[in-house]
Amino acid sequence: MAITKFDHIGIVVDNLDDALEHFKKLFPIDERTLIYERDYDDVDPGTGAVDVMHFALFPVGEVYLELIEPVSDGPMKRFLERTGGGFHHLGITSDNLRDEWGDHDAKRDEIGVIGDRPRVDQYDVSYWFLHPKRNYQVLFEVDAAWAKTSASDMTPIEPTPDW
């Protein structure tokens, strides 16, 4: 069990398409490696609250840049309103998500695990967050390893556990 890599850097923006055009000036973005999704529903398993957003993911070297435009009222929109946007989270990947969850759950107060169980997104990728107050002001998103499978899809490499 181990965190194996930095997966992505999450940046909150007020307009996804404008931000994507801007970052195309900085990075060579290959449309074949771009993941682009509009009206993505992020559901909190504890409350059932839905945070709707548009997002784009594209690789820069070995790490993806994730641009996130909040659409509905929720945590992402509040972050954008409070800060004006910018760096939001650092995504990390584990090679054994079930064991990693058990380890993090046992240390939840020390490392700031958010939620009672991992979330599973619409692509069947499991993930959870570690609160920035417990991690030197960095919000971490711990993800299952995944692979791009279409223009707006990603698939977990290992089967998703039954949380």
**% the chain with pLDDT above 90:** 71
pLDDT of the chain along its 163 residues, tens only? Answer: 689 999 999 999 999 999 999 999 999 999 889 999 999 888 877 788 888 999 999 999 999 999 999 999 989 999 999 999 999 999 999 989 999 999 999 999 999 999 999 998 888 889 999 999 999 999 999 999 888 776 566 777 777 788 8
**What CA–CA distance (Å, rounded) separates 3 from 125?**
16
Number of H helices, E strands in the chain: 4, 10
List the domains of the chain with CATH numbers.
3-156 (3.10.180.10)
Q: What is the pTM of this model?
A: 0.90
pLDDT in tens, 15-27: 999 999 999 999 9
**What CA–CA distance (Å, rounded) separates 88 from 101?**
22
Structure token pair of residue 98: 């079930």
